[in-house]
Amino acid sequence: MKIIRWIWRLTWKSALWFFGVSVGLVIIYRFVPVPITPLMVIRVFEQAFDPEKDVRLYKDWVSISKISKNAPQAVIAAEDQKFLDHHGFDVEAMKKAWENNKKGKRIKGASTITQQTVKNVFLWPSRSYIRKGLEAYFTVLVELIWSKERIIEVYLNVIEMGDGVYGVEAAAQTYYKRPALELNRSQAAMIAAVLPNPRRWKPSNPTAYIRGRQSWILRQMNNLDPVGFGS
């Protein structure tokens, strides 16, 4: 019985500790720029052990007021058109993905921008049930504590946008030699077009497929109401 009580106390204390730390981090990142993410650390280690690559970590945090309004419009059009309406989960998209999975069809990602932000800021790349459970937990926390504007601001600053390139400011400087504030609609749509695989595709050298995605995103940007974020 003593061992059972000890295990129970340890489990309970660990749960309280995790809850406190996780809530604390979410509150801190509501106001403070995210300095680094687990994915950035993983990529640096991958580069360090690859003799054909130099270690590169290019990121430059900017507030949403210093990001062109075209950038949030483009990523919402490309990645999560219900971003302003849902509470972190696109239930309809999840159902469709589940049905396609059962039919053996190619699955289109059902992750929302909130979920992608959570994966980048708090978690690690994985498809395990533990990671998915933590993702759901942090998604609820973020939606409760952060505003939609803060979510899109963090997303645009931490998302991987190339090999060693993170965030829209770094992407704008790398691919277009201009700040994120000056991105036009076409450039913002091109950056959004490569997000499914930013280490394979580059806005500076788009394939025919990426140009097609860019055109589709531009049409979606026109169809959506202005999201109201950015300058």
Q: What digits encode the pLDDT tens for the residues 27-58?
A: 999 999 999 999 999 999 989 888 878 888 99
The Cα–Cα gap between 35 and 37 comes to 7
Question: What residues does each domain of the chain span?
Answer: 1-32, 33-223
Q: What is the DSSP letter of 93?
A: H
Tell me the per-residue pLDDT of 98-146, one tens digit each, with 9 for 90 and over: 666 655 655 555 799 999 999 999 998 888 889 999 999 999 999 999 9
- The model's pLDDT over 165-214, given as tens digits with 9 standing for 90+, comes to 999 999 999 999 999 999 999 999 999 999 999 999 999 999 999 999 99
pLDDT reported for residue 10: 75
Contacts of 52 (CB under 8 A, 6+ apart): none
- 73 or 126: whose pLDDT is higher? 73
pTM for the model stands at: 0.91
Q: How far apart are CA 33 and CA 82, in angstroms?
A: 25
Topology of 33-223 in CATH?
Penicillin binding protein transpeptidase fold (1.10.3810)
Asked whether the predicted pLDDT for residue 97 surpasses 90, the reply is no
- Taking residue 189's Cβ as centre, other Cβ atoms within 10 Å add up to 27
Instruction: Specify the pLDDT at position 56.
Output: 87
Characterise 29 by phi-psi region: left (phi > 0), alpha (psi -120 to 50), beta (else).
alpha
- Give the pLDDT confidence score for residue 103 in this predicted structure: 58
DSSP letter assigned to residue 31: T
